[in-house]
Structure 1
Amino acid sequence: MAHFAPRAALRRAEAHTRYTALMNYDGASRGRRTKGWKAPASSADAAGYGSRRRLRQLSRDLVRNAPFAARAQHLITNNVVGGGFVPSINGAEDPQLRAVLDTHLGTTAIDAMGLNDLAACQRIAMNAVFESGELLVRRRMRLKSDGLTLPFQIELLEPDYLDETKQWNGGNEVIEGIEFDPWGRVVAYWLYDQHPGDVSRTINTKSRRYAAPEILHLRKLDRPGQARGVPWMAPVILTLGEMRDYQEAQITKQRMAALMAFFVESESDAGASRGTGASALDDIGPGAIIELATGQKVTATEPPKVDGYDQFMKQGLSAIASGLGLTYEALSGDLSGVNFSSARMGRMEMNRNIEVWQGHIIRAQFLTGIERWMREAWLLNFGKAADWQLSWTAPRPQLVDPTREIPAMVKEISAGLNSRHGVIRSLGRDPETIDAELQADTFSTAGEIDGE
């Protein structure tokens, strides 16, 4: 067309260029406004490849030394895990299973180190997932002679145990310590015997292969195909670090502002006598009358002012809270600008995040694996397949105003919008335990009446 009608071809090319420009996203342009904007086309795991170790180090340092980072960790762990998810038996009560739950999960028998029960292990796991981005739970099988109710224990391992230098195992690819089969399924984990950062003169740098069924991998999954996690503070690490530096600078300014100094000027070239005037200022106090020498003039220093501190900190904490899925009021503890309605609205939004983390991390990745290991150990120990099912009740959420919220729950039950057991579980309690306690209270009250 350009050969026979060059003018028409030019108009067509011009129209096509304009059409293409109009149909594109402004955000995808490469002009002045997006200059220096890094946007690599990396996969979920490639985005953190080579950066996870540094992110973990910075995250752990902030938790150790930055008050609001430690507050964020405690806040998330307390809300997601609290006192721990409580197991309850679906269907009829099984005395044998109840004894196993009480003696194995409810005591330190579940912990390979013998320090924590399952509830405490949940707290440690959630702390690690927040701080390091992920956690590994290893099953350690035991002999019947060890005297455990179920012949297994669990060991909690930080992601530092993963051998990220391992690349291949036969025909299987190993990426950052995780072995995949040709179909992309996780089949094993390569773990060090010791923490690489441990204080020891004999660090063993050799890793071992552990089959995937022996390991539980806890992390927050945000993208399809993601295998590894990143510290939750990754989006706000720079902001937290800068706010910590800003706070230290403001504290230094406040200390300087608290100091009072004077400059003494004298018209005499030789300076004034130290008997009065300048020397008298050393002992200045409330209500003091200082006599200056002839020709002396005293000028007080003007301390630096600390302006805009509250507004800056509030905006910074608001951004950090948003990046972590929390509310500003929960992170800062500042409730000066909220009432019942606004506090409840903010809490409801945060509760949605809490429920997601409870379901996707603690229930799906941790407790489901614990129940699977219990079933396998049950078969080994009792010689029969487990014919029971467990439900895991999340910790009780704190009510903003019980006098308003509890009557609303009662109305839900009366209207058939919820069951009594469902409401009890939403409050973090076990319905079977509540029913047993109510029955015991009724029996005790009836006995007292008969005794009278």
Structure 2
Amino acid sequence: MARKTDTGFRPSLLDRTIAHVLPERGLRRIRAKAQLSVMMNYDAASRGRRTSGWRAPLSSADAAGWQAGARAQLRNLSRDFVRNRPFAARAVSVITGNVVGSGILPSISHDDPDRKARVDQLVRDHLLTVAIDAMGQHALPGLQRAAMNAVVEDGEVLVRRRWRVGPYGAGLALPFQVELLEADYLDQTKVANGQNEIVEGVEYGPTGAVVAYHILRQHPGAASRRLALDSVRVPAADVLHIRRADRPGQVRGISWFAPVMLTLGDMSDYQEGEILKQKIAALLAAFVSSEEPIAGDALDPDQGARDLGLGEMGPGTITELPPGKSVSFTTPPQMPGGYDQFMRQNLSAVAMGLGLTYESLAGDLSRVNFSSARMGRMEMDRNIETWQQLLMIDQFCRGIERWLREAWTMRPRLGPADFAVTWTAPRRALIDPTKEVPALVAEMEAGITSRQRVQRQLGLDPAVVLRERVEDAQAQAGQPVNLTNDEAAPGDAMRALSGIAAAEAIEGAEDAD
């Protein structure tokens, strides 16, 4: 005999009444409700005591940050955390240090070596000097670092192109500079431009694409007011909007600290409480009480009350208490496992929320060995590589490259912009080079990867390595030089990673002769 399945659905009095008066309509109503009850198989989607405190509003990716000023509030709180809470500052330092490091640098490729050298020199003179910065302070690596800091703290940053012509472009290799702008510069007051909708300073065209940004002339929180607090419309082609998009259709960014901000705040408060408790525990104080009035009370009747102010206590303090007064201290409950376990568990949660490892955030390597450190680092490296590619290279560096080519065409004497640009991320830190480098060499010898790819993985520019190796070969032309990989031993990482073919090395030595 088949067992009946209890769906949990029972027709209500209203259902039965409708079915009695209007049988067909009542039947459809009961059938629909029964089918719905069968479909409700997710406990988390049910409404009950266990889910009564859960909030799940229906909002788009950008509306979630726009409602009630959540995006700006999170942005301001995040900046305060970085200013005043060490682990927040450490998190920004770790993320930016790994993503940007000493800079994501361009390398030029061209079939003509002479033209390649000229283009490379011009690009380096403009991008890798302070000429690229509208404020004249940073080269491209410094701008990348500041932009990545803002992306982590604020969730987004604007990079604006400023054309420089006439006297403003004097001395520049290319007629443009870039200006970094915080998200506060977006005008929140405008709602439309003709038929185009403006949301939080971002103007959308008829197809839904971003067509312009409305940018304030001065930061709204500036200490001095030099310019009127109005905005200018800047075409989207002149703005790079760097942010992490976690949901489809997301245009605006949100602070990366949003999921962990409560934990960080509570942990910091707990830490301050522990420090205060230890300060109180370190006090060696004495209290003197008497049933007789203390001499001098008549002259200063409030002296006893002031002596009860524990905030003024210090080591070696002797405090007189007025008659009938006594001092007692509370005994707060102790955390299971103590301070160390509490901080470690919460730091682990914060690290996971930010996509880091506990060891990198806390600087605590006391509980890891090579294998566990490498396993944790592998997960973090995937995040770092993702941020490098999707944020800094695809959005920032490719945007700078596009502006470079457009500016190039404005200088006809430079010729066509027929060169290729490759961006090399900084070197990934090796946990144990004696184990990891031989593994990379084995991958190359097995044909799994190439020398160029490994060199870029290590933060090296293959073109620079090739040129330097040729220069070394030319400098040692009178001595036997072996730069081949064919005769290299499997563990000879230096020769295997040299990045130069034997024929090129021999040709360079012969030219030097």
* TM-score class normalised by the smaller sequence: 0.7 to 0.9
Alignment partner of 1:162 is 2:186 = yes
- Contact 2:285–2:315 (8 Å) recurs in 1: no
- Contact 1:363–1:392 (8 Å) recurs in 2: yes
CA distance in 1, matches of 2:394, 2:359: 30
Aligned match for 2:362, one of 327, 332, 335: 332
Amino acid at match of 2:419: W
Shift of 1:446: 2.3
- Contact 2:217–2:228 (8 Å) recurs in 1: yes
Other-structure match for 1:121: 143
Alignment partner of 1:82 is 2:101 = yes
CA distance in 2, matches of 1:166, 1:135: 20
Other-structure match for 1:352: 382
- Contact 1:257–1:303 (8 Å) recurs in 2: no
Report % sequence identity.
Answer: 56
Aligned match for 1:446, one of 477, 483, 503: 477
Amino acid at match of 1:39: A
Other-structure match for 1:61: 80
- Contact 1:144–1:381 (8 Å) recurs in 2: no
> Residue 271 and residue 306 in structure 1: after superposition, are their counterparts in 2 closer, same or farther (change >3 A)?
farther
After superposition, what is the alpha-carbon deviation per residue over 1:131-170, rounded to whole angstroms, capped at 9, x for unaligned?
A: 1110000101112651211110000000000001110000
> Residue 261 and residue 397 in structure 1: after superposition, are their counterparts in 2 closer, same or farther (change >3 A)?
same
CA distance in 1, matches of 2:419, 2:110: 8
Gaps of 5+ in 2: 1-17, 296-313, 317-326, 481-508
> Residue 302 and residue 380 in structure 1: after superposition, are their counterparts in 2 closer, same or farther (change >3 A)?
closer
CA distance in 2, matches of 1:283, 1:435: 67
> Residue 40 and residue 99 in structure 1: after superposition, are their counterparts in 2 closer, same or farther (change >3 A)?
same
Q: How does 1:65-144 map to 2 (within 5 A)?
A: 65-92=84-111, 93=113, 94-143=116-165
After superposition, what is the alpha-carbon deviation per residue over 1:180-206, rounded to whole angstroms, capped at 9, x for unaligned?
A: 111101110000010000011445221
After superposition, what is the alpha-carbon deviation per residue over 1:295-349, rounded to whole angstroms, capped at 9, x for unaligned?
A: xxxx999998975111111111011001100011110011111110000000000
CA distance in 1, matches of 2:188, 2:21: 63
Other-structure match for 1:375: 405
Alignment partner of 1:199 is 2:239 = no
Aligned match for 2:247, one of 223, 246, 271: 223
Residue aligned with 1:392, SS: strand
- Contact 2:126–2:172 (8 Å) recurs in 1: yes
| Alignment RMSD | 3.0
- Contact 1:262–1:300 (8 Å) recurs in 2: no
Aligned match for 1:148, one of 172, 175, 182: 172
Amino acid at match of 1:124: A
Aligned match for 1:17, one of 34, 47, 53: 34
Alignment partner of 1:34 is 2:51 = yes
Other-structure match for 1:173: 197
- Contact 2:212–2:233 (8 Å) recurs in 1: yes
- Contact 2:241–2:395 (8 Å) recurs in 1: yes
Residue aligned with 2:411, SS: helix
Q: Which range moved further: 373-382 or 390-399?
A: 373-382
> Residue 226 and residue 305 in structure 1: after superposition, are their counterparts in 2 closer, same or farther (change >3 A)?
closer
Other-structure match for 2:15: none
Residue aligned with 1:343, SS: helix
CA distance in 2, matches of 1:119, 1:431: 19
Gaps of 5+ in 1: 274-281, 285-298
Shift of 1:2: 5.0
Residue aligned with 1:391, SS: strand
Per the normalisation by structure 2, the TM-score is: 0.77
CA distance in 2, matches of 1:77, 1:255: 36
Larger relative contact order, structure 1 or 2 (CA cutoff 8 Å, min sep 6): 1
> Residue 271 and residue 27 in structure 1: after superposition, are their counterparts in 2 closer, same or farther (change >3 A)?
same
Other-structure match for 1:420: 451
